[in-house]
């Protein structure tokens, strides 16, 4: 069986595609932006690739792929396989393969950074220089149907970009309506999704920065340094930026006076940028308390609590980041309190226990759990 992608509209501020798979109705997907988008199918092939590898299905793109992208596909799939042993290499065919025919016209392309308002991307925006443009994507960590929370977030992003005199390009996409059915956004998919959006903007940018969150030596998370290197080609370069520990980043952001612009929460409550109680809010609160100068992001000004940390079972990624934070504090002669270390160990133990049923349960129970989680 083959996953077919039919590009039905491309150019200017929108590109749309239908994704056909099996006997089900086609997925109607789109990418919209406040700037010109590429007419090539590289973006759509990247959007479909992790799903196809997960399902062991080849890809056919009813449109043109660039030769530069096609030549990089082996390296991209090799990187995705490293962190995902359940993936398999697939064949990718297209209606046509073309050289990047409009590359010679793009003499004034600039450099951009994916900017969500999070600690990592705020740090990168502040340290990479004012010549950067910022790319904000609605439909990634905030679902495309959540207009209310996106409006709240976009207001914060615009305030930051205006203060820094950086241009903000807003992108909207519904690709998660397709990807979430078959893959995990965090573990499998979002690195390829970022690369896809970057490729759709290749007429405007020659390089796109992605803020680093987790060192690659610990885990091949959904987005990692060598994956972005593989996605780079002569038409567009992807650069992973900011491998420093997040406590150090909190120190820099706080000292420069930009803590009020940081939004890290994934709960997306209607009227709050940060809920203050989810695992990401709790660890970010610790990072600003340990490394900052007393300034905190919105909603994170309540005192850090070891008990609050224990109540939130930590994922492997959360635990890795907190260990890096602790090492940075040790190196700077302000070691994390013993109570914090004990709480972190307890929270990660609870996280492991929580993951065990999903890891070792029979396949049909995993399917039921996954469907239930998506419904909720």
Q: What is the pTM of this model?
A: 0.87
As averages over each run of 10 residues, the pLDDT of the chain (376 residues) reads 88 91 91 92 96 96 94 96 91 90 65 96 93 96 91 95 96 96 91 96 94 72 86 93 88 94 81 83 87 87 72 72 79 70 65 61 55 50
For the chain, the structural domain boundaries read: 2-103, 104-241, 246-375
- Whether 18 contacts 28, CB under 8 Å: yes
Is the CA virtual torsion 319, 273, 216, 131 positive or negative? negative
CATH superfamily name and code, 104-241: HUPs (3.40.50.620)
Return the pLDDT at 301.
Answer: 85
Beta strand spans in the chain (E): 2-9, 14-20, 27-33, 58-66, 92-98, 110-114, 133-138, 168-173, 205-211, 237-241
Region class of 333: left (phi > 0), else alpha (psi between -120 and 50), else beta: left
Return the pLDDT at 104.
Answer: 47
Return the pLDDT at 339.
Answer: 63
Return the pLDDT at 294.
Answer: 84
Spell 57-86 as b/e; 16+ CB within 10 A means b.
bebbbbbbbbebbbebbebbbebbeebbee
């Amino acid at each position: 069986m083959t996953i077919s992608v039919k590009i039905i509209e491309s150019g200017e501020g929108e590109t749309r595609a239908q994704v056909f798979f099996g006997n089900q109705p086609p997925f109607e997907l789109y990418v919209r932006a406040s700037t010109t988008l590429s007419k090539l199918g590289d973006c759509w092939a990247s959007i479909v690739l992790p799903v196809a590898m997960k399902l062991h299905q080849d890809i056919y793109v009813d449109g043109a792929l660039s030769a530069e992208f096609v030549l990089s596909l082996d390296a991209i799939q090799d990187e995705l396989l490293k962190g995902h042993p359940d993936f398999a290499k697939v064949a990718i065919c297209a209606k046509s393969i073309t050289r990047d025919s409009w590359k010679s016209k793009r003499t004034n392309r600039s450099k951009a950074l994916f900017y969500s308002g999070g600690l990592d991307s705020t740090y990168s925006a502040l340290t990479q220089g004012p010549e950067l443009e910022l790319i904000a994507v609605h439909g990634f960590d905030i679902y495309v149907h959540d207009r209310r929370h996106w409006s709240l977030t976009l207001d914060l992003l615009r305030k930051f970009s205006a203060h820094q005199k950086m241009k903000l390009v807003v992108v909207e996409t519904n690709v998660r309506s397709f990807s979430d059915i078959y893959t995990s956004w965090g573990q499998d998919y979002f690195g390829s999704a970022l690369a896809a959006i970057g490729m759709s903007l290749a007429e405007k940018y020659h390089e796109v920065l992605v803020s680093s969150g987790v060192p690659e030596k610990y885990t091949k998370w959904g987005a990692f340094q060598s994956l972005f290197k593989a996605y780079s080609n002569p038409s567009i370069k992807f650069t992973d930026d900011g491998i420093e520990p997040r406590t150090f980043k909190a120190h820099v952001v706080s000292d420069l006076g930009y803590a009020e612009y940081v939004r890290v929460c994934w709960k997306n409550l209607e009227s709050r940028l940060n809920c203050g109680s989810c695992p990401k809010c709790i660890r970010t609160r610790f990072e600003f308390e340990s490394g900052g100068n007393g300034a905190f992001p919105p909603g994170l000004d309540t005192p850090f609590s070891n008990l609050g940390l224990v109540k939130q079972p930590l994922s492997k990624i959360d635990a890795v980041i907190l260990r890096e934070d602790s090492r940075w504090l040790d190196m700077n002669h302000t070691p994390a309190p013993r109570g914090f270390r004990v709480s972190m160990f307890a929270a990660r133990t609870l996280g492991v226990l929580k993951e065990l049923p999903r890891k070792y349960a029979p396949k049909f129970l995993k399917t039921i759990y996954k469907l239930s989680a998506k419904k909720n």
